[in-house]
């Protein structure tokens, strides 16, 4: 017996039959004597649909209103799931982020959770109910609706699990775990039994879409073990946990890719102190997250800067950069969306030498040009032309032996 937080993604609640199947699993856990908090996403495709509607009425939709719109998706699924549970004889109550008091900052459409006030949830659990909580949404200090960014329901689930001191946080999704790479791109991808928080953070940040990155940050900070598993079976999935020694024995745990970045180049900017601060300060002010940054060796008194931003933010980024560039008398701002960032990740990199060199060699052998590079202690990322994505993933997966067994770690 324990307190379990279960999160179900959009596909898992994609239609009435699937909602019934989620309800059966939830009811089973409760019948076994567990207290259950269920966090749900909007039905598959719903958030995209709402975003598309907004795009039809406004070029750059007001972000406060965007949150009011997007939060409706999850409100549909909490009520449907709670009704289904009640109909099955399992006492349940739905709560929006507002009702449960999932308190966030006021960064609309990408808010951060500050605190989850657990009183209302605990009272409902104490009354013997299953709590069905809307993921992805919260309430700002001024009492407005906020949303947590795409995939934010994962973070809702982990934050609630941390706040309640839950015994487990299960993330049910349409894949059965975390893989060495995207199985849709390479059929030799293997499911990992365990992956460390740090590896998962890097994998999430470089485009493995299984978990929202903030959910892993939260889990790491509060020591919440996450079990990523399939909502269509009872098979064990992947545990995202504290690092241990066996994980360090291999250099690379996974290969990830991200097609959703865009490369922006600003050419002919004055080569003097304060210019980078000006450009990136302007982006930061608009909450645009810049990933890789490269500044060229200057020529004369001019230089150029290239950086990547999420493709979804490109329009906004350009609208911020263009006036700054003009002000600086800059020659040219250009953008390229035809790129992919491919990355290798592993805590073993800390103790294995030559991993980056091997990556470059493998890509070079296939004639794949590397446009930008960035590294961290446990990751190497390369920006390449998008058309080479699949090829790069496959050759890197093979080169680092990911088709084989990972000591103590893989299925
Ligand atoms: N419904 C939101 C999205 O599609 C949040 C989530 O599913 O986690 O991004
Ligand atoms: Mg998701």
The CB of 8 under 6 Å from ligand 1? The reply is no
The CB of 151 under 6 Å from ligand 1? The reply is yes
How many Å apart are CA 206 and CA 184, to the nearest integer? 16
Closest-lying ligand 1 atom to the alpha carbon of residue 149: 9
User: Is the pLDDT confidence value at 182 over 50?
Assistant: yes
CA-closest residue to ligand 1 atom 5: 151
Q: How far is the CA of 260 from the centre of ligand 2 (A)?
A: 15
Question: What's the distance, CA 118 to chain centroid?
Answer: 24
How many Å apart are CA 169 and CA 225, to the nearest integer? 7
| Percent of residues, the chain, with pLDDT higher than 70 | 98
Q: How far is the CA of 373 from the centre of ligand 2 (A)?
A: 27
Task: Check residue 245 and give its pLDDT.
Answer: 87
Closest-lying ligand 1 atom to the alpha carbon of residue 41: 7
* C-alpha closest to that of 318 among 276, 265, 392, 268: 265
The CB of 136 under 6 Å from ligand 1? The reply is yes
In terms of pLDDT, which residue wins out, 332 or 384? Answer: 384
The CB of 150 under 6 Å from ligand 1? The reply is yes
The CB of 41 under 6 Å from ligand 1? The reply is yes
Q: How far is the CA of 111 from the centre of ligand 2 (A)?
A: 16
Task: Check residue 76 and give its pLDDT.
Answer: 98
Residues 238-292 have pLDDT tens digits of: 999 999 888 888 899 999 999 999 999 999 999 889 999 999 999 999 999 999 9
In residues, how long is the chain? 411
Mutate to test the pocket of ligand 1, among 7, 9, 42 (most ligand atoms within 8 A of CB): 42
What's the mean pLDDT in 314-333?
91
The CB of 73 under 6 Å from ligand 1? The reply is yes
How many Å apart are CA 407 and CA 405, to the nearest integer? 6
How many Å apart are CA 250 and CA 231, to the nearest integer? 30
Residues 54-79 have pLDDT tens digits of: 999 999 999 999 999 999 999 999 99
Residues 219-230 have pLDDT tens digits of: 999 999 999 999
Task: Say whether pTM exceeds 0.85.
Answer: no
The CB of 348 under 6 Å from ligand 1? The reply is no
What's the mean pLDDT in 193-197?
95
Q: Which two tokens stand for residue 373?
A: 């590079």
How many Å apart are CA 248 and CA 347, to the nearest integer? 6
Residue 209: band (very low, low, confident or very high) from pLDDT cuts 50, 70, 90: confident
In terms of pLDDT, which residue wins out, 301 or 283? Answer: 283
The CB of 110 under 6 Å from ligand 1? The reply is no
What's the mean pLDDT in 118-131?
98
The CB of 207 under 6 Å from ligand 1? The reply is no
Residue 300: band (very low, low, confident or very high) from pLDDT cuts 50, 70, 90: confident
User: Is the pLDDT confidence value at 410 over 50?
Assistant: no
Residue 406: band (very low, low, confident or very high) from pLDDT cuts 50, 70, 90: very low
Q: Domain spans of the chain?
A: 3-174
Task: Check residue 404 and give its pLDDT.
Answer: 59
Task: Check residue 411 and give its pLDDT.
Answer: 38
- Structural fold of domain 3-174: Carbamate kinase (3.40.1160)
User: Is the pLDDT confidence value at 28 over 80?
Assistant: yes
* Mean pLDDT over the full length of the chain: 94
What's the mean pLDDT in 209-232?
93
Q: Which two tokens stand for residue 7?
A: 């999160």
């Amino acid at each position: 017996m324990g307190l379990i937080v279960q999160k179900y993604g959009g596909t898992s609640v994609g239609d009435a039959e699937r909602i019934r199947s989620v309800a059966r699993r939830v009811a089973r856990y409760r019948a076994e004597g567990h207290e259950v908090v269920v966090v749900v996403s909007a039905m598959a495709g719903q958030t995209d649909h709402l975003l598309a509607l907004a795009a039809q009425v406004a070029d750059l939709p007001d972000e406060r209103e965007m949150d009011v719109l997007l939060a409706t998706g999850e409100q549909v699924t909490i009520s449907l799931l709670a009704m289904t549970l009640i109909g099955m004889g399992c006492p349940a109550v739905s709560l929006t982020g507002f009702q449960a008091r999932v308190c966030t900052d006021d960064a609309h459409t990408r808010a951060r959770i500050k605190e989850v006030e657990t009183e209302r949830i605990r009272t409902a659990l104490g009354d013997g109910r299953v709590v069905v909580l809307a993921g992805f949404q919260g309430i700002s200090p001024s009492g407005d609706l906020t949303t947590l960014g795409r995939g934010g329901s994962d973070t809702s689930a982990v934050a609630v699990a941390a706040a309640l001191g839950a015994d487990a946080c299960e993330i049910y999704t349409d894949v059965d775990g975390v893989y060495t790479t995207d199985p849709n791109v390479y059929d030799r991808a293997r499911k990992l039994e365990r992956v460390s928080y740090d590896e998962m953070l890097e994998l999430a940040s470089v485009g493995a879409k299984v978990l929202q990155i903030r959910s892993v940050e939260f889990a790491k900070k509060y020591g919440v073990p996450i079990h990523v598993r399939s909502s269509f079976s009872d098979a064990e999935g992947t545990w995202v946990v504290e690092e241990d020694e066996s994980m360090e024995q291999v250099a690379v745990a996974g290969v990830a890719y991200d097609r959703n970045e865009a490369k922006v180049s600003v050419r002919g900017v004055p080569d003097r102190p304060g210019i980078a601060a000006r450009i990136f300060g302007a982006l930061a002010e608009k909450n645009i997250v810049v990933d890789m940054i490269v500044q060229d060796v200057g020529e004369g008194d001019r230089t150029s800067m290239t950086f990547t931003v999420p493709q979804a933010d490109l329009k906004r980024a350009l609208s911020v950069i263009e006036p700054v560039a003009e002000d600086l008398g800059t020659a040219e701002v250009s953008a390229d969306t035809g790129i992919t960032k491919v990355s290798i990740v592993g805590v073993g990199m800390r103790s294995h030498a030559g991993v980056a060199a091997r990556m470059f060699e493998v890509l070079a052998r296939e004639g794949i040009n590397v446009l930008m590079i960035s590294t961290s202690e446990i990751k190497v990322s390369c920006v390449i032309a998008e058309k080479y994505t699949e090829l790069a993933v496959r050759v890197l997966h093979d080169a680092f032996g990911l088709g084989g067994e990972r000591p103590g770690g893989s299925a």
